[in-house]
């Protein structure tokens, strides 16, 4: 039986319109409700459709995580909300730049540790190194902790970027698996199924007349009874 009081770490991938104010609205949702953000990254992923992906690492009880996903899915500029942790197999990576200032044998040890962690040396002076390391957050944290024991350290981290493994594509088919929400009349929905003839095919009863999105960034197919956007 799942313990509802256990604090869980989740990676949530959010596909949004690339327009001014979207990031502020997402951050405002978290801060206004007291939700925690451990990491947040955002970048445009489709220049033609003007879509950006926000990767959020957050933590909370299972109930809080569900509330976060539901609240995110209600925001107008958001196309899909994917809980990569709930979906199962996913890949997460974070990049960090680590500058260390030291001397003597500590410099040799710093190079040895960097080699063990497969970190790249980007810059070197007589008193400092700058390393680049890529990996999971735990790997980056382990590396930086070891560097701190060898000298003065300055760290710059990108935050987590993540993607699901296998043949599931969030953008082309955001309704395929558990843990994915999409918008229908401004209400969060959880759907399964796949695309038929370029349109999303959701379970009956999940979407009603709903709106369906063409794959490939070609916009939406809107039904004539869409109370928000009007007819196609």
**Are 84 and 52 in the same domain?**
yes
Looking at 162, 179, 201, the residue that finishes a domain is: 162
Backbone φ and ψ of 187, nearest 5°? -115, 140
Structure token pair of residue 166: 């296998």
**Are 123 and 213 in the same domain?**
no
Backbone φ and ψ of 155, nearest 5°? -130, 135
Could you read off the pLDDT of 74-130 as tens digits, one per residue? 887 888 999 999 887 889 999 999 999 999 999 999 999 999 999 999 999 999 999
pTM (2 d.p.)? 0.69
Looking at 162, 183, 200, the residue that finishes a domain is: 162
**Are 176 and 139 in the same domain?**
no
Cβ atoms 93, 135 nearer than 8 A: yes
Q: How many CB atoms lie within 10 A of CB 232?
A: 10
Question: Residue 170 has what pLDDT?
Answer: 66
Q: Where are the beta strands (DSSP E) in 29-124?
A: 36-46, 51-60, 78-83, 90-101, 120-124
| CA–CA separation, 117 and 113 (whole Å) | 6
With a pLDDT cut of 70, the percent of the chain lying above it is 71
| CA–CA separation, 152 and 144 (whole Å) | 11
Could you read off the pLDDT of 127-168 as tens digits, one per residue? 999 999 999 999 999 999 999 999 999 999 999 999 988 887
Dihedral in degrees, nearest 10, Cα atoms 101, 106, 112, 116: -70
Cβ atoms 41, 13 nearer than 8 A: no
**Are 95 and 64 in the same domain?**
no
**Are 118 and 215 in the same domain?**
no
């Amino acid at each position: 039986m799942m313990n509802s009081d256990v604090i869980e770490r989740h990676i949530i991938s959010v596909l949004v319109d690339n327009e001014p104010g979207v990031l502020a609205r997402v951050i405002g949702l978290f801060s206004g409700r007291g939700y925690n953000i451990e990491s947040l990254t955002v970048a445009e992923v489709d220049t033609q459709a003007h879509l950006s992906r926000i990767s959020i690492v957050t933590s909370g009880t299972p109930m809080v995580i569900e509330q976060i996903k539901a609240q995110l899915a209600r925001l107008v500029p958001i196309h899909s909300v994917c809980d990569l942790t709930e979906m199962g197999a996913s890949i997460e990576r974070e990049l960090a730049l680590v500058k260390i200032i030291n001397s003597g044998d500590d410099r040799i040890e710093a190079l040895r540790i960097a080699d063990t962690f497969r970190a790249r040396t980007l810059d070197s002076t007589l008193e400092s190194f700058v390393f680049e390391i890529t990996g999971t957050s735990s790997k980056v944290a382990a590396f930086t902790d070891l560097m701190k024991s060898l000298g003065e350290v300055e760290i710059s981290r990108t935050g987590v970027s993540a993607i699901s493994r296998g043949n599931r594509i969030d953008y082309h088919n955001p309704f395929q698996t558990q843990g994915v929400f999409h918008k229908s009349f401004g209400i969060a929905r959880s759907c399964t199924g796949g695309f038929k003839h370029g349109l999303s095919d959701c379970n009956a009863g999940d979407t009603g007349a709903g709106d369906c999105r063409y794959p490939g960034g070609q916009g939406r197919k809107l039904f004539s009874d869409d109370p928000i956007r009007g007819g196609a």
